[in-house]
Structure 1
Amino acid sequence: MSEPFRTVLLPGRHHVLTRFQADYLHALLAGQVSDTEGEPVAVAQDAVVVWAVTSANHRGTRRNPVPAARREAAIERFALAEGIESLVVGVVDVAPTDRFAELTVKTVAHETGGRRTPTPADTVVACSTAAVTAMYRALGYRVVPVEAGDESDPARPWDVLELLVAGDETWRDLAHPATVSVLDRYGLVDAVRTICTDPVVGSDGGLTATREYRSYIAAFEAAADRKWAQARPWVRPGRIVDVGCATGAMLELAAAEPSLHESDLFGVEVARHLYDECEHRKAQGAFAANPNTFFVHANVLAGPVFPPGTVDTTTTFALTHEILSYGDGVPALERLAAEVARHTAPGGVWVNSDVCGPAGGDRRVRLRLRTDDGDRGAGPVDLATHPDPQAHLDGLSTRARFDQFAVDFRANAGVPFAHDEDGDDVLLSLADAMEFLTKRSYTDNWLSETHERFCALDGDAWARLVTAAGFEVDPRSGPWRNEWLVQNVLAPVAQLLDPGTGEQLDWPDTHILLVARLPESP
């Protein structure tokens, strides 16, 4: 006969602990539970429950809306209230892998200094998820099925969390009082609902699952000096907020300026990957020149981040086209403008630097594209399932790449993108021509970039939008043309022609630097 188990390993994200779990653990520790094979499980009197908190380095995402520190606090209160000897071990988030169980076991051994090393001989696993159960059984562990073994089909922790998100107060009756207490005391109920219903952010805390963040970060940081030089003349000292701060490149430049050393610098970032990098860079001393540099993981469209009238300068760099693309279009930008106006102090400024649609974007043009700079190809393919999308795109001629773009932009951005063909020429609106031309070189992030709209608003539309929010537009700011883009990206592969006369047209404005000032109080 085998020795009673000295360890109960309970893996899970543990955002919510339930009353059922408490009853089940008491029954398990009393030897009243059978494993998945129907065999009774004997547990030693001095057994310890090891709570393996998975995705412990995630927070602020739909998969992980409760920070690991709060999850641990609830577990400790649960253990104390129930008189269950427990240990809590955080397990980092990993991509889906069939070695997940092995990783968890090794993490427990490492984090407990080897004093609690789970083995099939001394550990029983408590798990209700079939796929995870199979992993532990493959390693030789016996598993007790928790909710999956109960005929009454009790609510599982994630079911209770979904009730909370839906505003169904019965979650409080199903959750253990330890969870209810922690979520209430730290104001996490509303925060969890906001995170899990955010229309902009995906389940892993990013704007899109197709974005390759390394190249995105590199491109953003490469342009930081130029963008900061553009914005700097309008920055007003005091509380300076960079919304959509990415990795904090702009705030690092601001922190280094002696004239801004008395200012408080705040970076607001909604994408978890980027927010984590901000905190990492801060720990490395990137912002040491101004110790009053802070980062906030938040979505400004989901609710106020700063009190009314407390921000002297708000900057948004390469952000507004993403809000338009991943939100609900122009109404999302209107909400952003209203929120920035709300938190801006009288006389304060909003500096917005981003791509911009061309004036007269509805004008029909003839687009002539190179056909000799790559393969014409056999037509558009499904890049989502292609083994090497970037290599495929890089091998296409500009004209063939247009055909691929037309399919992907319609599907991903959800816009019509109407055009006609005249031989190799394309007849379409000026705005749609610029949508393609300004994205044609982004082959490393194609599926993400074809989700985004660059040309929905021209300079006049932007001025109307911020004026409606209560700002006044500085007449020295406005749309401009990026000559480097023209010379290196547009002109080498394309011509814009008048569809009637064939006359070559000038390249339109491509970007905007909009400075909007909130009037001083009367």
Structure 2
Amino acid sequence: MYLLIPGRHQLLTQFQFRYIQGLIQNGLENEKDVFGKPIGSRQKIEAVLFAVTSANHSNTRRNPLPFYLRAITIEAFGNELDVPTYMYGIDDVGYVPNFAAYTLKRIQHDSEGQFQCTPANTVVICSTPVLNMYHHLGFTILPAELQDIATWKHHTAMPWDVVEQIAKSNQWQTDPFVQQHMHASAFTVWKKYRRGEKVQMLFRDAMISSDGDLTETRDYNVYVRQMDDIAEMKYHDTAQYIQPGRIGDIGCAVGSWIKLACKDERLRESDFYGIEVSRYLYVLCQQRKENGEFVNPFVFFSQKNAVTGLVFEPNSMNTIHTSSLTHEIESYGSRTDLLQFIQNRYAELAPGGVWINRDVVGPENKDQTVYLWLNDTDGSNNDPYKLIEDKTAFSHYLAELSTYARFLRLARDFRHKEGYVLNYTTATINNKNYVITSLRNAMEFLSRKDYTDNWQSEMHETFCFWDYSEWKSHLQQAGFTIHPSSKAFTNDWIVNNRWKGKTELFTLNNKELEPLDYPVTTMFLIGVKA
């Protein structure tokens, strides 16, 4: 008879050890299942199997420990038991109703047929709703910490309760609750590898979701394709300013910029460090490295958040590159987070080092009132507020709206959850309709009106909170000198392909409309550490 224990196993408890050891020594004959039914089995327990779920996830609030640290803990834990212990990593495959069946098949495959778990030879230990999946497959479920399945009340602390206590404890290693419940095998690993401090940092991070992403609404297939499509242009813009040595790309997405930099003969002796907060993108970076896509072997990727602290050693980096990142910090975090991010980059650079930041930028005079003409004949004006759940259908619907109707939709959706109100009025002048609003609001619309594939994600993001002068000022306040090649500019491709014929800007002077040039869209800002 086998004992199967599915779970993420970020931490093991003293109760778990006593419970499992008691089953091994005393058998199952006098035990009751989660429904109070006597088990009555006299079969001897021959092995304990740990199914470690989310084995491919780490460095997030939900999964702070990588699989190898969980495996070290389980191995030490199992060495104290009276029967052999085995562990098998089960990758996260998203929500599937038959995940239990998938787990059993993975164990059978990874054990090369040694363990074919069935209700006849295996009892499952589980005290969370996951047990229902195994119960539906006919397995007997032992309750462990579970006291009442009707209320999901537990009679002792669960492993995650201990993790949460560590996250909020000032001195977790001496915390009485932690000492009472945490098994020595877990304590040793958490202390040696400084997991307590890591967990506290992850739990403090309000920007990132529990699974390690900035946003849960972004379509990463679309996002990655967009990043790859413009990677060569971005590298061409930045190449001449890169200082050889230690080169970091923060928000590296799928490593496209680093991949191009590795081919640069001038940088052949450099080390490259890609930092990506999104678990999904970080995994793709690692896959690309395993595929041999980087010609320089000295490429290292880490999943970290560069807002909450330094991601490189102080005074260690010759070049730091960021692209289309800093506006996301303002969008998903706060102004304080953005200012801290700027200060962190200054601290990480060696003297003479450069931070190359390419991002969107707000227009000068962004509070000025403008008259915005929007084409209302280039698409449908029918029901711009329609609700559509399917992402593909929603994207097609948005693409078919006229420029004017799409503005109406954005005015309602834009940063609504963040409490932003996009104020505007309308007027008819010389038989043409205009939207009257601030230049900032006009540019927030123009800058993402064509992002129909990723609309829900883009509606959380603000591009125009600082103009170029404000950006320079904040970098200078952090200690940077601004490189003379820095600039803000209007992307001609955007003007010619997305704006002309669809929108025009005007100001009102003496009751007459005067054309306004299209404002800047992009900045190329290079901060130098003296």
TMscore range, shorter length = over 0.9
Contact 2:3 2:45 in 1 (8 A): no
Q: Residue in 2 aligned with 1:193?
A: 200
Shift of 1:153: 1.6
1:119-150 deviation digits (Å, cap 9, x = unpaired): 111111111113x2221111111111111137
Letter in 1 for 2:505: L
Q: Which amino acid aligns with 1:156?
A: M
> Which of 308, 317, 320 does residue 314 from structure 1 map onto?
320
Distance 1:217 1:391, change over 3 A: same
Deviation digits for residues 364-385 of structure 1 (CA, Å, limit 9, x no counterpart): 1011111112221224244568
- Residue aligning to 1:65: 64
Question: d(CA) in 1 for partners of 2:293 and 2:387?
Answer: 41
Letter in 1 for 2:37: E
SS in structure 1 opposite 2:513?
Answer: coil
Find out whether 1:297 has 2:303 as its counterpart.
Answer: yes
Residue 396 of structure 2 is aligned with which of 391, 396, 401?
391
Q: Match of 1:11?
A: 6
More displaced 10-residue stretch of structure 1: 192-201 or 55-64: 192-201
Q: Which residue of structure 2 aligns with residue 508 of structure 1?
A: 519
Match of 1:460 among 463, 466, 469: 469
Q: Which residue of 2 aligns with 1:230?
A: 237
One of 164, 167, 176 as aligned partner of 2:166? 164
For the 8 Å contact 1:27–1:33, the answer to whether it is kept is no
Q: 1:228-273 deviations in whole A, cap 9, x for unaligned?
A: 1111111111111111111111111110011101111111111111
Which residues of 2 match residues 109-508 of structure 1 at below 5 A? Answer: 109-130=108-129, 132-149=130-147, 153-167=155-169, 169=175, 170-287=177-294, 289-328=295-334, 330-382=335-387, 388-423=393-428, 424-500=433-509, 501-508=512-519
CA contact (8 A) 2:319 2:356 kept: yes
Q: Distance in 2 between matches of 1:82 and 1:233?
A: 61
Displacement after TM superposition at 1:387 (Å) = 8.0
In structure 2, the partner of 1:3 is none
Unmatched segments (≥5 aa) in structure 1: 1-5
SS at match of 1:302: coil
Question: Which is worse superposed, 191-200 or 396-405?
Answer: 191-200
Per mean C-alpha deviation after superposition, the further-off stretch among 35-44 and 219-228 is 35-44
Query: What is the root-mean-square deviation in Å for CA atoms of aligned residues?
Result: 1.7
Please tell me whether the aligned partners of residues 242 and 251 of structure 1 are also in contact (alpha carbons under 8 angstroms): yes
* Cα deviation, residue 292, structure 1: 1.3
Specify the code of the residue in structure 1 equivalent to 2:204.
Answer: T
**In structure 2, distance between residues paired with 1:108 and 1:354:** 46
In 2 relative to 1, CA 284–152 (structure 1 residues): closer, same or farther, beyond 3 Å? closer
Task: Identify the range of structure 1 (442-451 vs 60-69) with the bigger mean alpha-carbon deviation.
Answer: 60-69
Tell me: CA distance 1:149–1:188, structure 2 relative to 1, closer, same or farther (3 Å).
same
Q: CA-to-partner distance for each residue in 1:377-406, whole Å, 9 max, x for gaps?
A: 224244568783212212211111111111
Partner of 2:212, secondary structure, is coil
Give SS of 1:426's match. Answer: strand
C-alpha distance in structure 1 between counterparts of 2:418 and 2:268, whole Å: 42
Q: Give the letter for the 2:109 counterpart.
A: H
User: In the alignment, residue 17 of structure 1 is paired with which amino acid?
Assistant: L
The CA deviation at 1:10 is: 0.6
SS state of the match for residue 262, structure 1?
A: coil
TM-score, normalization: structure 1? 0.95
Q: Do the aligned partners of 1:28 and 1:43 also contact (CA within 8 Å) in 2?
A: no
Structure 1 residue runs of 4+, over 4 Å off? 382-387
Q: Is the partner of 1:503 in helix, strand or coil?
A: strand
Which stretch of structure 1 is more off in the superposition, 460-469 or 90-99? 90-99
Once the two structures are overlaid, the 10-residue window that deviates more, 94-103 or 388-397, is 388-397
SS state of the match for residue 149, structure 1?
A: strand
CA distance in 1: counterparts of 2:498 and 2:207, whole angstroms = 30
| Partners of 1:413 and 1:450 within 8 A in 2 | no
The answer to whether the 8 Å contact 1:73/1:182 transfers is yes
Query: Shift of residue 414 of structure 1?
Result: 3.4
Aligned length: 511
Ranges in structure 2 where 5+ consecutive residues have no aligned partner: none
Distance in 1, matches of 2:19 and 2:99, equals 24
Contact 2:361 2:467 in 1 (8 A): yes
CA contact 1:412–1:447 (8 Å) conserved in 2: no
- 1:153-173 alpha-carbon deviations (Å, 9 max, x no partner): 211111111111121622232
SS of 2:448's partner is coil
**Compared CA separation, residues 119 and 274, structure 1 to 2 (3 A):** same
Contact 1:427/1:499 (<8 A) preserved: no
Contact 1:270–1:299 (CA under 8 A) maintained in structure 2: yes
Measured after TM superposition, the shift of residue 46 of structure 1 is: 4.4
| C-alpha spacing 1:152/1:214, structure 2 compared with 1 (3 Å) | closer
* Percent identity over paired residues: 38
Partner AA of 1:315 in structure 2: H
Contact 2:307 2:338 in 1 (8 A): no
- The alpha-carbon deviation at position 43 of structure 1 amounts to 5.6
In 2, Cα distance between the equivalents of 1:413 and 1:248? 31
Q: Which amino acid aligns with 1:481?
A: T
Q: Deviations over 1:447-498 (max 9, x none)?
A: 1111011111111001001000101111221211100011111223111111
